[in-house]
Amino acid sequence: MSLFIITPPEPASLPIQGTEARFPIRRIYCVGRNYLAHVREMNEGGDERDPPFFFQKPLDAVVHDGGVVPYPSLTASLHYEVELVAAIAIGGANIPLATALDHVLGYGVGLDMTRRDLQTIAKDKGWPWEMGKAFDHSAPLGMLVPANVTGHAPRNISLSVNGDVRQSSNTAQMTWSVTEVISKLSEHYRLEPGDVIMTGTPEGVGAVHIGDKIFAEVEGLPTLTITIGEKL
Ligand code: MN
């Protein structure tokens, strides 16, 4: 007799540069409002050093490099957000700043796809962000590179749509650094091996349409390309 009454879902995972072994994903955490110029373009108030806040995306929302994000339901404003992704290899709670980067296995490129109109409604009404952020196919994630290869230093981050550059910044512009994000997040949740953290997007977010090709790049990491597909 089978252990499960229905077939369990395939485990989510990411390729890692330089090895056939894949990175198993346990949780996908995202950081909100982590670049001041993006906070300003969204017309959001608040102090630039307001504590970081977090939300999650479901594991089965992952789309791999070269994949398709079908245009999601119930939105007329699908936005891209290019983000540096940190993959956690060593767990911990209340991780101090001094050792936070020791928990990082490596880095990758991610897209925090957003139903901006639904997110705006949620903000206005004080509702959770799930419907704007955690929909099907909302988490394209690229190949990881081990930190001992790519390092931890700030790097250029950019995104183009059909060849036009829309976002161009540097991760040094993050309000809360990767070190600080790991430390703060680990106060809310015990981090575990397999967690990935999308660290927020710079300014220049905007809408995409069916047929658009999104090219996301973070210096020193494999690029991430996805196409917006027809509605399912
Ligand atoms: Mn984001």
Per-residue pLDDT of the chain (232 residues; tens, 9 = 90+): 689 999 999 999 999 999 999 999 999 999 999 998 888 888 776 666 788 899 999 999 999 999 999 999 999 999 999 999 999 999 999 999 999 999 999 999 999 999 999 999 999 999 999 999 999 999 999 999 999 999 999 999 999 999 999 999 999 999 999 999 999 999 999 999 999 999 999 999 999 999 999 999 999 999 999 999 999 9
Ligand 1: centre distance to CA 114 (Å) = 8
Ligand 1: centre distance to CA 191 (Å) = 19
Ligand 1: centre distance to CA 1 (Å) = 44
Ligand 1: centre distance to CA 220 (Å) = 21
Ligand 1: centre distance to CA 205 (Å) = 10
Domains of the chain: 25-229 (3.90.850.10)
Ligand 1: centre distance to CA 201 (Å) = 5
Tokens of 82: 């290019």
Ligand 1: centre distance to CA 63 (Å) = 16
Q: Which of 108, 110, 89 is nearest to 100 (CA)?
A: 89
Instruction: Indicate the residue type of 137.
Output: H
Q: Are strands 78-80 and 114-115 parallel, antiparallel or unpaired?
A: antiparallel
Ligand 1: centre distance to CA 178 (Å) = 14
Q: Which of 163, 135, 141, 158 is nearest to 78 (CA)?
A: 135
Rounded to whole angstroms, the Cα distance separating 109 from 221 reads 7
Per the listing, tokens 């390309």 go with 225
Ligand 1: centre distance to CA 199 (Å) = 7
Ligand 1: centre distance to CA 31 (Å) = 6
Q: Which of 77, 83, 58, 82 is nearest to 118 (CA)?
A: 77
